[in-house]
């Protein structure tokens, strides 16, 4: 079976290379990573073989990461005062501290350097991400629960 850290490393490798697809079979499991125009897919599934009946039952897993799409903001913004808040790690992006809580920030909110703008879960650890700048949130470029990559732009902030 593939370890989560191995899968993340392979996804990052494919993302940073010119490869469009990578497929690996190991111990009765198949890992397939495809890089279509705007999404990456990681699918881990069991491959039928004779030895599989002796292996412990492990459920099929699938992870899909939507690649970053830098869409322009609805209204024109002075690029000189625009700051990108980027992900400091690979992980899962969360807009709120819990599913039933309001988001940390929304478009139009004023933030300061120590404002927590989101949480990124990596290796079962929840990491608060501070704004590190003072300004107004202009755009949120990722969806709640989306897998994000190191250096991926999460927020656009109009600096004061």
pLDDT (tens digit, 9 = 90+) per residue, 65-85?
333 334 444 455 556 568 999
- Tokens 């992006």 correspond to 93
d(CA 159, CA 143): 23
Contact between residue 7 and residue 44 where contact means Cβ atoms under 8 Å apart: yes
pLDDT of residue 26: 75
Shared-domain flag, residues 60 and 123 = no
pLDDT of residue 35: 67
The last residue of one of the domains, among 35, 66, 97, is 66
Is 113 a domain residue? Answer: yes
Position 48 in a domain: yes
The residue from 21, 36, 66 where one domain ends is 66
Is 85 in the same domain as 135? yes
Q: Which of 66, 93, 112 is the last residue before a domain boundary?
A: 66
Rounded-to-integer distance, Cα 70 and Cα 131, Å: 19
83 and 155 housed in the same domain? yes
Q: What is the extent of the structural domain holding 53? A: 4-66
Our count of domains for the chain comes to 2
The answer to whether the CB of 116 falls within 8 A of the CB of 104 is: yes
pLDDT of residue 69: 38
Across the beta sheet with 61-66, the strand order is 21-26, 29-34, 39-46, 61-66
Same domain, 153 and 99: yes
The parts of the chain modelled with pLDDT lower than 70 are 1, 35-81
**Domain membership flag for residue 100:** yes
- Residues 49, 8 share a domain: yes
At 14, which helix (H) or strand (E)?
A: helix 4-16
């Amino acid at each position: 079976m593939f370890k989560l850290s191995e899968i993340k490393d392979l996804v990052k490798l494919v993302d940073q290379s010119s490869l469009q697809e990578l497929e690996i079979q190991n111990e009765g499991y198949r890992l397939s990573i495809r890089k279509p125009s705007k999404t990456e897919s990681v699918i881990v599934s069991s491959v039928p073989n004779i030895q599989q009946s002796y292996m412990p039952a492990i459920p099929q897993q699938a992870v899909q990461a939507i690649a970053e799409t830098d869409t322009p903001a609805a209204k024109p913004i002075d690029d000189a005062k625009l700051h990108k808040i980027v992900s400091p790690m690979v992980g899962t992006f969360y807009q709120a501290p819990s599913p039933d809580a309001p988001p940390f920030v929304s478009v139009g909110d004023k933030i300061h350097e120590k404002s927590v703008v989101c949480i990124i879960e990596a290796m079962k650890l929840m990491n608060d991400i501070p704004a590190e700048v003072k300004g107004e949130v202009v755009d949120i470029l990722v969806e709640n629960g989306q897998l994000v990559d190191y250096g991926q732009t999460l927020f656009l902030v109009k600096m004061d």
